[in-house]
Amino acid sequence: MTAQIAERLNYQGNDVAMCTNPLSDYFAMGGVNPRFESNCTALWRGYVGSWEIVNARLYLIGLNGTLEGGAEASLATIFPDYPDRVFAHWYSGTIRIPQGKQLEYVHMGYGSTFERDLFLDVERGVVVATRVRHNGTAESENALKVTKSAP
Amino acid sequence: MIYLYWYLGIGVVVLAVVYGAHRLTKEKKSESLRDLLEAVNPDGKKLSYRILNNFVAPVLAVILVVAVWPVVVYMQVKELFQKKESNGFPEEREFAVEREQLLERLTEQEIERREVVTDPLKAAPELPFGHLHAAWQEFLKGRADGAELWSFSARWQTMWGRKELRCGYVVVQDGAPGTHFLTVWKDIPDEAEADGSAKQERAKDIPG
């Protein structure tokens, strides 16, 4: 397997990589799945979503992908009545945002490690807590540190 | 010498078959994804990379296939047989709600009242289960007359050892849980296991 292209997240004014796929939960919970084409080993899911957190709420604001058959997909493909913004109320889980320099490249999924991971704990589309895990620095030996704080 | 010509000739035929199969199965990447992939791989714009990727690599592949086509044929046949054998791979057991995981009996109206989604930016329909309202209605269609609706909360471990929390609503017919509708599906860390025992104890009070 190959390392996967991450989702994009606009968080506190910054465009960051998001190593979580909330849209896959939507499909698994009964949402309409238009069947994306997987034509790249670095993008097995077949799409890249763009997300945004506004007032602690997670929104899907864009989608790039190709459907089986070759047609281009967009947000309107899945949510025709909400082509600009979709509140991800179905999602509960932890969003991982890697930060800092890469410590180790792993040729599988989102396995690569970075100096820090920012975790956003989400309950039904609402961010309820954030925490940072320190995985080490790029020039020194790895050191793990976990701190927890409310948003 | 004639045998060498035959050998190379068969190699050319194998090459043609492999190339034809590759062209048939290869799909055109969308423009938006191509831009994204190029951004991830900045080396793709360098002349040296393009020469290597678009000329040297294909030429080497052609030479290799023509020269060692028996190996290519063997690998293709092996791949075909491996695909058939992989169908025998043990399938992951399917999640099903158990009686001990039931929480409380509710009416359809009670459930829909508590599950209306609201959003200040109006980015979800103000309906029960929001964007999943249609899926909820589809779930209700399958409910038989006299079947009850219960909420549930379940700790589940996948075949690969990943621990998950799954919550939602389930149809219960004659005391037996049936189809379910998920409202929460998330990974849980190991330290959260202790909290699950309280919910399990509550569920034991279910009559029947």
Q: Which domain holds residue B31?
A: 2-88
List the structure tokens of B76: 């293709």
Nearest to B135 among A29, A55, A85 (CB): A29
pLDDT tens figures, A94-126: 999 999 888 877 666 777 788 899 999 999 999
pLDDT score recorded for residue A135: 86
Note whether A59 contacts B184, CB cutoff 8 Å. Answer: no
Among B48, B67, B88, residue at a domain's last position: B88
pLDDT tens figures, B55-104: 888 888 888 888 888 988 888 888 877 766 555 556 667 899 999 999 99
Assess whether B199 and B104 both reside in one domain. Answer: yes
pLDDT score recorded for residue B34: 60
Contacts of A68 in chain B (CB under 8 A): none
Closest CA to B168 of B180, B156, B155, B186: B180
Residue A5 sits at the chain B interface (C-beta within 8 Å): yes
Which ipTM did the prediction report?
A: 0.84
Assess whether B82 and B7 both reside in one domain. Answer: yes
pTM: 0.69
- Lowest-pLDDT range of A81-95, B32-46, B157-171: B32-46
Nearest to A86 among B31, B33, B124 (CB): B124
Note whether B136 contacts A30, CB cutoff 8 Å. Answer: yes
Q: Compute the distance between CA of residue B140 and CA of residue B180 in angstroms, rounded to an integer.
A: 10
CB-based contacts of B37, cutoff 8 Å, min separation 6: A5, A40, A42, A43, B29, B44
Per-residue confidence band for B196, with pLDDT thresholds at 50, 70 and 90 = very low
Residue A53 sits at the chain B interface (C-beta within 8 Å): no
Provide the residue ranges of all domains of chain A, joining segments of one domain with +: 7-87, 93-149
Residue A42 sits at the chain B interface (C-beta within 8 Å): yes
Q: Compute the distance between CA of residue B26 and CA of residue B14 in angstroms, rounded to an integer.
A: 18
Assess whether B153 and B84 both reside in one domain. Answer: no
Residue B125, in any domain of the structure = yes
Note whether B132 contacts A90, CB cutoff 8 Å. Answer: yes
| Single-letter code of the amino acid located at A97 | I
Note whether A90 contacts B130, CB cutoff 8 Å. Answer: yes
The residue that leads in pLDDT, B23 or B144, is B144
Assess whether B103 and B56 both reside in one domain. Answer: no
Residue B32, in any domain of the structure = yes
pLDDT score recorded for residue B90: 62
Assess whether B81 and B131 both reside in one domain. Answer: no
Q: Which residue has the tokens 């050191």?
A: A143
Note whether B32 contacts A26, CB cutoff 8 Å. Answer: no
How far is B10 from chain A, CA to nearest CA, in Å? 31
Residue B17, in any domain of the structure = yes
Assess whether B83 and B104 both reside in one domain. Answer: no
Domain count, chain B: 2
Residue B129, in any domain of the structure = yes
What value does the mean pLDDT of chain B take?
81
Residue B68, in any domain of the structure = yes
Assess whether B108 and B192 both reside in one domain. Answer: yes
